[in-house]
């Protein structure tokens, strides 16, 4: 157990997406993680209701992943990926491709979801140029969308605070379709709403405004996570796919959160039966043991870009740590666990109970909506007058004090536990939230 005297100096670290002054006045520090639990520096167990940051899908401290990383560190700590390679980068790409929809089997490795998004946007632009349609430069995102923190990602993203400070430096030629959430029609819906497929038709408005020949790609999260769990209405993604195909526009699914079992399937594309042109990946791809990401690309897109180059480098893009040996080791070990333990199927089998437990909070003090799909739920709270986000922040702090980690965005609590969760732990998550809500104003 760490004493106050043994704590590190907190002043040097500038923490991401954190109220730094508030945190450092009353820090919440973690020291260990195993299975479904973190351990705080005070020795308290914290049930992980968020899989870290939507990413530790197989649970913490998996020995198979630890062993794979350790072996790789001994054998090959680093290998450059420009004009040279290592065997496991190809093996890992094959393993990832097996989890993707048929034909989306060309894999470009990155190190994060943000890098995956920027990579996918660049692939889309390169593809149209390779086909002689270099005038297709416009990128279309969606309101309330989150696509990481690269300049490409925040440009197509639609969360105002993420964009505000950088508004004069975002990519030109970007527009946004409307989001899919209508609380008057779809409050307390279990799973996909029946109403709202027509929201996809807003893309027709964008097409008419800008001319389809100028649009390269549309990027959406199949299920919007970081904005507060917005589940796509039935038929919405299908309609969006039909419109993009009609005008020769590429469709990118940002599956950084939804891939690798979160919704009870290998991908949201698989679950919904809608195949995009590119899929961005990260988080669960390596169980977060090593930073890793990827873009799964439809084979025809990859082949068109390669065929357009006379010789030499076909796509001028990449990262020093693309397909890092430790990342590829973690990816292969992680995907092996998912398959061997049938974790995607397990998530699907638990989704009904998880749904019932989440919607059990309906009628609880301050709760104004519950949304869910697979093993993800959003609990929306009524904001305090003149203090948006304050109520959810208090729930976050009090849940932590009671041994539960949740996530909040605005006044929405997001729940997304590791796929190894047990039924009694599902009950613990939502009963703890209910107990905390009963104690706050």
Q: In CATH, what number is assigned to the domain containing residue 121?
A: 3.40.640.10
* Backbone torsions φ then ψ of 27, nearest 5 degrees: -70, 145
HEC readout, 136-185: CCEEEEECCCCCCCCHHHHHHCCCHHHHHCCHHHCCCCEEEECCCCCHHH
pLDDT of residue 6: 78
> Six-digit token pair at 236?
């919405």
Statement to judge: residues 279 and 370 lie in one domain: no
Statement to judge: residues 206 and 264 lie in one domain: yes
Using the 3D structure, point to which of 320, 340, 360 is the last residue of a domain. Answer: 340
Per the structure, the complete domain to which residue 382 belongs is given by 4-58+342-437
> Six-digit token pair at 439?
């104690």
Statement to judge: residues 53 and 90 lie in one domain: no
How far apart are alpha carbons 281 and 116 in whole angstroms?
7
- How many structural domains are present in the chain? 2
Using the 3D structure, point to which of 289, 321, 340 is the last residue of a domain. Answer: 340
> Six-digit token pair at 256?
């950084």
Q: How many CA atoms lie within 13 A of 216 on its CB side?
A: 25
Statement to judge: residues 222 and 93 lie in one domain: yes
Map residue 34 onto helix, strand or coil: strand
Map residue 378 onto helix, strand or coil: strand
pLDDT of residue 310: 87
pLDDT of residue 4: 60
pLDDT in single tens digits along all 441 residues of the chain: 445 667 899 999 999 999 999 999 999 999 999 999 999 999 999 999 999 999 999 999 999 999 999 999 999 999 999 999 999 999 999 999 999 999 999 999 999 999 999 999 999 999 999 999 999 999 999 999 999 999 999 999 999 999 999 999 999 999 999 999 999 999 999 999 999 999 999 999 999 999 999 999 999 999 999 999 999 999 999 999 999 999 999 999 999 999 999 999 999 999 999 999 999 999 999 999 999 999 999 999 999 999 999 899 999 999 999 999 999 999 999 999 999 999 999 999 999 999 999 999 999 999 999 999 999 999 999 999 989 999 999 999 999 999 999 999 999 999 999 999 999 999 999 999 999 999 999
Statement to judge: residues 23 and 123 lie in one domain: no
Using the 3D structure, point to which of 298, 318, 340 is the last residue of a domain. Answer: 340
> Six-digit token pair at 54?
């939507």
Statement to judge: residues 110 and 258 lie in one domain: yes
Identify the CA nearest to 142 among candidates 238, 245, 253, 239: 253
Statement to judge: residues 382 and 293 lie in one domain: no
How far apart are alpha carbons 350 and 373 in whole angstroms?
11
Statement to judge: residues 146 and 291 lie in one domain: yes
pLDDT of residue 5: 62
How far apart are alpha carbons 176 and 158 in whole angstroms?
7
What are the residue ranges of helices labelled H in 309-404? Answer: 325-340, 343-359, 390-401
Statement to judge: residues 235 and 349 lie in one domain: no
> Six-digit token pair at 221?
């999260």
CB atoms within 10 A of CB 57: 29
Residue where the block lists tokens 């899989």: 51
Q: Provide the CATH number for the domain around residue 348.
A: 3.90.1150.10
How far apart are alpha carbons 79 and 70 in whole angstroms?
16
Statement to judge: residues 264 and 132 lie in one domain: yes
**pTM of the complete model beyond 0.95:** yes
Statement to judge: residues 9 and 50 lie in one domain: yes
Statement to judge: residues 11 and 156 lie in one domain: no
Q: Is 182 exposed, middle or buried (0-12, 13-18, 19+ CB in 10 A)?
A: middle
């Amino acid at each position: 157990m760490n004493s106050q005297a043994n704590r590190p100096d907190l002043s040097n670290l500038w923490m991401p997406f954190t109220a730094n002054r508030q945190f450092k006045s009353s820090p919440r520090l973690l020291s260990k993680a195993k299975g479904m639990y973190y351990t705080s520096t005070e020795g308290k167990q914290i049930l992980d209701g968020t899989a870290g940051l939507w990413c530790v899908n197989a649970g913490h401290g998996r020995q198979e992943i630890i062993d794979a990383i350790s072996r790789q560190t001994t054998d090959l700590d680093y290998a450059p990926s420009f004009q040279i390679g290592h065997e496991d980068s190809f093996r890992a790409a094959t393993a990832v491709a097996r989890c993707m929809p048929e034909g989306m089997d060309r894999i470009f490795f990155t190190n994060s979801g943000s890098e995956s998004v920027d990579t996918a946007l660049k692939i889309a632009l390169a593809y149209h140029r390779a086909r002689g349609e270099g005038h297709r430069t416009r990128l279309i995102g969606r309101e309330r969308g989150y696509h990481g923190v690269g300049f490409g990602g925040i440009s197509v993203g639609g969360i105002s605070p993420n964009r505000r400070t950088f508004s004069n430096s975002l990519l030109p030629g970007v527009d946004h379709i409307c989001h899919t959430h209508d609380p008057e029609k779809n409050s307390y819906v279990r799973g996909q709403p029946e109403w709202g497929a027509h929201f996809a038709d807003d893309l027709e408005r964008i097409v008419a405004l800008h001319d389809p020949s100028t649009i390269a790609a549309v990027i959406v999260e199949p299920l919007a996570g970081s904005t507060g769990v917005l589940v796509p209405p039935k038929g919405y993604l299908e309609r969006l796919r039909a419109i993009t195909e009609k005008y020769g526009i590429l469709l990118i699914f940002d599956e950084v959160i939804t891939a690798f079992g979160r919704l009870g399937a290998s991908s949201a594309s698989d679950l919904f039966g809608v195949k995009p042109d590119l899929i961005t990946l990260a988080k669960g791809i390596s169980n977060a043991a090593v930073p890793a990401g990827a873009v799964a690309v439809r084979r025809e897109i990859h082949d068109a870009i390669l065929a357009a180059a006379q010789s030499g480098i076909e796509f001028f893009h990449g990262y020093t740590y693309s397909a890092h040996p430790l990342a590829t080791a973690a990816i292969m070990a992680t995907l092996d666990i998912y398959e061997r333990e049938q974790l995607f199927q397990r998530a699907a089998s638990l989704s009904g109970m998880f749904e019932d437990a989440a919607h059990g909070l309906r009628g609880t003090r301050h709760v104004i909506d519950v949304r869910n799909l697979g093993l993800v739920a959003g609990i929306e709270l009524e904001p305090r007058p003149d203090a948006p986000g304050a109520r959810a922040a208090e729930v976050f702090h009090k849940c932590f004090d009671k041994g539960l980690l949740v996530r909040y965005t605005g006044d929405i609590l997001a729940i997304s536990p590791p796929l190894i969760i047990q039924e009694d732990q599902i009950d613990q998550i939502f009963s703890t939230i209910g107990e905390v809500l009963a104690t706050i104003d």
